[in-house]
Each structure stands twice: as structure tokens, then as C-alpha cells.
Amino acid sequence: MELKRRPRRLRANEAIRSMVRENHLRVEDLIYPMFVMPGEKKKIEISSMPGVYNFSLDEFVIALQEVVTLGIPAVLLFGIPESKDSVGTGAYDEHGIVQEAVRVAKKHFPELYVITDVCLCEYTDHGHCGLIENGQIVNDPTLDLLAQTALSHARAGADMVAPSDMMDGRVAAIREGLDKEGFSQIPIMAYSAKVASGFYGPFRDAAGSTPQFGDRRTYQMDPANGNEAMLETALDIEEGADVIIVKPALAYGDIIYRSKEKFGVPVVAYNVSGEYAMVKAASANGWIDEKRIVMEALVSMKRAGADLLITYHALDAARWLRAEGHV
């Protein structure tokens, strides 16, 4: 049979396959999320996230050495404070756990790009991302605390701040707060399309940030909505977001794609805790090939349009890429 077009011609061997490969995962694409907590000599594995730990600051420095050695350019920090209260004081404490972690990280590894998650939920005793008044999560009174949180991170030396709370107007409030204090050069990476997702379960175990009443559906987005994701993202960019995040990643490839097409700004896919836990559980059972699944999932996010990937698989992915000579 005479077929003019035979796509298999370009799949004949590894040489030609790699020559025509359209998307590549690079170590430089990876952002590694890490959890820090007070104390000493603590490295506590998160039970639903094998291979991911809560670190005291001494152990955090040891772990960072590995991140740097592997060539991973950036970390995203989350804090687990000693105590929580109704207004999330630990989030904007100049000597809070994340603020101290930033100082330690920049002192030992000045070249490492340090991004901080800006939110109240790890620091509030009710587990919500905003202040509570009369049983409601109130928007505007929360904004000032988010701005203070971001500012305290910038003062500690953070390179970039990443608000994950989903309050309306938080990017504008943070931008204004940073600019007023001389941090106009600190970029904002906004969790713009952040869905009220079941995929955050293991993270909330780690952070003890499961809401004590209700859920996050009055501020995080409905999983069914794509146009709303575009609106959220447009507003964040208007308010000054430099980089935007789509979260979760695996079930939201369409949102990644649409964001990249529509806005052209750097798009980050957040491969969240539940996505990580599923891969780990299935591979621990021998049901899937972990490396293949992880690399396939990560490159699919790039194909969808993500420029950068936040993933708990970052250390493994970097090791695998290096082993294959892709540094």
C-alpha cells in the first residue's frame, strides 16, 4: 500500500524519536515544595507522602544541600508552626518558622531561589485560609494579614511570594504592601486557578490544616469551572501577578493549556500531594512503574503549556534526568 504519510517513520529508533521530541522536562523546570517546623534534629516522614518530610531547620539545611546538588533551582516553603490561633499570628510573625527557614536557606545557599507560600491556613486553629467572623470566612479583613505575611517573608529574604488563599484582591493587597516597603522587585506567583480539590488531603494531614468546620468551597473554585479559572487568572494578572499557578495539575490540563494560550505569562502546574500519594501507593504495591508514570505525568504538564512544575517528585525526577544525561 502506498501511504504518503506514515507517522511511524519518525518513531523507528531512539535517535529519531529523541530528535523529533516536542517537549522536554528539565531539572530547571522543577520547584520542590518543602515543610519546615520548629525543633531540632527532626525529620518526620508524612505518612501519606512517603519520601516527603517535615524538617526542623537543622535537618532542612541538610536536605537543601541535596536539592542544590541535584541542580533544582527553587524551593517552595510551607511552615508548620508550634501553635495556632484564630488569626494565624504565626503566618506574619517576623520570627515565624517560614521566616527563619528563609533566612537559614539564603544564608547557606544564596543562589537557591526561595519561594514562600503565603496563606493563613497552616497557622489558624480553625484551618481556614481567612479570618472568621460570625461563622463566615471574611475576605477584606484577611487581606491585610496576607500582605503582612508576604512582607515578613520578603524581609527575611524570600525571592518570590506565592499567595494560595484565594481571597479576592489578595494579589493587589500584597503588591501594594510589598511596594510600600521597598520590595517592588519581589515577584508574585499567584495560585490563580486553585480548585476546591480532594487532592490536597495528604498536604492537610502534614500541615494539620484541615478546616475544623465547613470546607473551602466559598473561596476555592468549583472543579467543574473552566471559564471561572480564566476570570480568576485575569484578575490576578491585572492586580500584579507575575507568574500564575494552576492547581491541581493532572486533572486540570485544559486549564493549564487555556491559561498559557490566553495570558502568555509563565504558567506553573502544581502537582499536588494527593497526586503524589496515588503514585506512591500504586508503585509501593508494584502496580505501576513509578519512574515511567512520574516522567509521563510531568512531561504532560509541560505539553499542556506549563513552564514550571511544583512537584514532590522533584528530587527523584532530577535524579532520573541526571542519570539520563539531561541536566
Rounded CA gap, 58 and 85, in Å? 26
Contact 303, 267 (CB under 8 A): no
In the chain, % helix, strand, coil (3-state, to 5) comes to 45, 20, 35
Stretch that binds ligand PBG, among 6-14, 39-47, 96-104, 197-205 (CB under 6 A): 197-205
Q: Which of 129, 237, 249, 269 binds ligand PBG (CB under 6 A)?
A: 129
247 annotated active-site: yes
Verify binding: residue 273, ligand PBG, rule CB under 6 A: yes
From the list 247, 260, 280, 302, the catalytic residue is 247
Stretch that binds ligand PBG, among 2-10, 54-62, 103-111, 115-123 (CB under 6 A): 115-123
Q: How far is the CB of 22 from ligand PBG (least distance, A)?
A: 28
Q: How far is the CB of 74 from ligand PBG (least distance, A)?
A: 15
43 annotated active-site: no
Contact 320, 295 (CB under 8 A): yes
Q: Which of 67, 91, 97, 121 binds ligand PBG (CB under 6 A)?
A: 121
Window 75 to 104, contacts with ligand PBG (CB under 6 A): none
Strand spans (E) along the chain: 30-36, 43-46, 49-55, 74-79, 113-118, 131-133, 136-138, 160-163, 189-194, 243-247, 267-271, 308-311
Verify binding: residue 155, ligand PBG, rule CB under 6 A: no
Rounded CA gap, 274 and 202, in Å? 6
Whole-angstrom Cα Rg for the chain: 20
Q: Give me the active site residues, please.
A: 194, 247
Query: Which residues would be at the binding site for ligand PBG (CB under 6 A)?
Result: 117, 119, 121, 129, 164-165, 200, 203-204, 272-273
